[in-house]
Structure 1
Amino acid sequence: MKKLIVLSACSMLFLASCVSKKEHIALQEKYQETQDLLNTATVKLNSCLSDVAAANARVETMKDQLADLRKANQDLIDTKGNLTTLTQKGAENLEKSLESLKERDLKITRLQDALTKKDSVTLAVVTSLKKAVGISDPDIEINVEKGVVFISIADKLLFKSGSYNVTTRANEILGKVAKVINSKPDFEAMVESHTDNVPYNKPPLIDNWDLSVKRATSVVRVLESLGVNSQQLIASGRSSYVPLVENDTAENRAKNRRTRIVVLPKIDQFYEMVESEMKNLSEGN
């Protein structure tokens, strides 16, 4: 473009020498107009170049931003996948926990129902067993403790003092007990013998442990002779270590010398017995 300007100037000088003054003035005006156009074009060109540079800078910035967005999007996709996996595992664990809670609540409800039912018919069960045994004696107790039925017999009704041989009276009492055990062939009966704390040492026995165990086995043998299945029977000696009262008087020591026959039904069988007694109560029996 500079060459064009120089050439134009030279041409005008050459023509100025050849043209008239009027034409020379016209040429000068034309030159000035061209110069103005050139200056304007140069300004516009510089502005465009500046805009292009700014646009290129924005493009680079946008490329960087696009790359960041793509990375962030991929991270979100990966996170979503992880969260989906975690959510599925969490849902499975939550479902298992809910099932466990439901089972536990059901068990608790059943236990509460059973306890309520047991408490409401304890007296009826005791009365039923007393009728079956047919004994009314202050030295014989029939009761229910913690879902277990037991018959407690004072040792004076079963044994002579210091002896483990059963009395004639014992056969009569244990015959009644055998009827109860035989009526429940799926039950177990534990014969549990207790002594007082007076030391015992009569050969072949050496202490209260021996005496309590020997008395328990003596009762078991009588029950066997009365037809009770041996597989239902358990002999247990407790010596003097589970007293009912302090061993501080003769009367109290007599209370502590006792034999308990503990009837141990299976849980479902005990519930059946409870339900039967509740039915009898509702019918007024």
Structure 2
Amino acid sequence: MKKTRFASSAAALVLGVAVLGSCVSSKKYKELEASKNALEQEKATAQRSLEQANADLRDRDAKLAQYQQQIAQKERILNELRESVNEALAGFKEQGLTVAVREGKVYVTMPEKLLFASGSTKVNPNGQSALGKLANAIKSQRDTEIVIEGHTDDVAVASANVTFKDNWDLSVLRATEITRLLINNGVPPQMVVPAGRGQYTPVAMTRTPEARQSNRRTEIILAPNFDKILKLIQTN
């Protein structure tokens, strides 16, 4: 009888241990399964983040390539315009005329002696010839704004002068005279803007005769409308 009770107790103990072991194994399995799922979610999130980062990088590279292409196109447009003007005005370089590209624009700088007698607002024959050649080179550039800036030195206008009151007047009248000549030579009037800067935008700051001579000038500024030009290039 004692042996039977002992055997039953032993069997119950073994069964209990087995059940307990089963519970522990099940709990551990669930913990491992939860950990696995969490890792898979983290991996999926990281994968999505990586894919988004790669997409952003591709988008940035595409925009950078487009930007670089636009810069190259703008430089080409400016260089072609500069070369066209250079070729047209090559015969006037020895008289101090210069052509340069600055800040996305072509600057044609003509000294006073090329265009005007001292204190005059009437363009001389030599200046008329130069402006005629310039007009022929730029009149087809319909998407380019042309700003005519008159500049003077800092010497005050003689009080006896009845044509203009001061250097503001002188610079504006000269710019307007050049504007009319360009229009008469075929440049569309809507392309041209005359402006007078007086003595207030000098290229030389000293008051020597040479500095003042440098400051007496006309700047013809050619400003292409790149947005319109590039749009035309893309549609053709």
TM-score normalised by structure 2 residue count: 0.71
Counterpart in 2 of 1:218? 177
- Higher alpha-carbon deviation: 219-228 or 192-201: 192-201
- Within a 5 Å distance, the mapping from 1:111-190 to structure 2 comes to 111=71, 126=83, 129-133=85-89, 135-146=91-102, 148-163=105-120, 165-169=121-125, 170-190=127-147
When residues 261 and 159 of structure 1 are mapped into structure 2, their CA distance, relative to the original with a 3 A threshold, is same
Taking the aligned partners of 1:228 and 1:112, their CA distance within structure 2 comes to 28
Counterpart in 2 of 1:56? 16
Counterpart in 2 of 1:92? 52
Taking the aligned partners of 2:92 and 2:114, their CA distance within structure 1 comes to 13
- Quick check: 2:150–2:197 contact (8 Å CA) kept in 1? yes
Counterpart in 2 of 1:228? 187
Structure 2, unaligned runs of 5 or more: 231-236
Taking the aligned partners of 1:98 and 1:137, their CA distance within structure 2 comes to 49
- Quick check: 1:159–1:167 contact (8 Å CA) kept in 2? yes
Picking from 50, 73, 77, the partner of 2:33 is 73
- Quick check: 2:117–2:124 contact (8 Å CA) kept in 1? no
Shift in Å, 1:249: 0.5
Aligned length: 225
Picking from 244, 253, 266, the partner of 2:203 is 244
- Quick check: 1:134–1:176 contact (8 Å CA) kept in 2? no
When residues 97 and 81 of structure 1 are mapped into structure 2, their CA distance, relative to the original with a 3 A threshold, is same
Q: Secondary structure at the match of 1:67?
A: helix
Instruction: Report percent identity of matched pairs.
Output: 25
Q: Secondary structure at the match of 1:136?
A: helix
Taking the aligned partners of 2:35 and 2:158, their CA distance within structure 1 comes to 87
Shift in Å, 1:255: 0.9
Per-residue displacement from partner, 1:15-69 (whole Å, max 9, x unpaired)? xxxxxxxxxxxxxxxxxxxxxxx6xx36xx5366246325414522431441342
Counterpart in 1 of 2:233? none
Shift in Å, 1:145: 1.6
When residues 114 and 53 of structure 1 are mapped into structure 2, their CA distance, relative to the original with a 3 A threshold, is same
Taking the aligned partners of 1:65 and 1:194, their CA distance within structure 2 comes to 94
Counterpart in 1 of 2:153? 196
- Quick check: 1:190–1:262 contact (8 Å CA) kept in 2? yes
When residues 55 and 195 of structure 1 are mapped into structure 2, their CA distance, relative to the original with a 3 A threshold, is farther
Taking the aligned partners of 2:74 and 2:144, their CA distance within structure 1 comes to 19
Find the structure with the greater CA-based Rg: 1
Q: Report the RMSD for the aligned CA atoms in angstroms.
A: 3.8
Taking the aligned partners of 2:170 and 2:163, their CA distance within structure 1 comes to 10
Taking the aligned partners of 1:228 and 1:141, their CA distance within structure 2 comes to 20
Shift in Å, 1:153: 1.1
Taking the aligned partners of 2:82 and 2:185, their CA distance within structure 1 comes to 24
Taking the aligned partners of 2:109 and 2:9, their CA distance within structure 1 comes to 115
2:174 counterpart letter in structure 1: R
When residues 53 and 259 of structure 1 are mapped into structure 2, their CA distance, relative to the original with a 3 A threshold, is same
- Quick check: 1:189–1:233 contact (8 Å CA) kept in 2? yes
Shift in Å, 1:171: 2.9
Q: Secondary structure at the match of 1:197?
A: coil
Shift in Å, 1:215: 2.6
Taking the aligned partners of 2:142 and 2:73, their CA distance within structure 1 comes to 26
Structure 1, unaligned runs of 5 or more: 2-37, 271-285
- Quick check: 1:189–1:262 contact (8 Å CA) kept in 2? yes
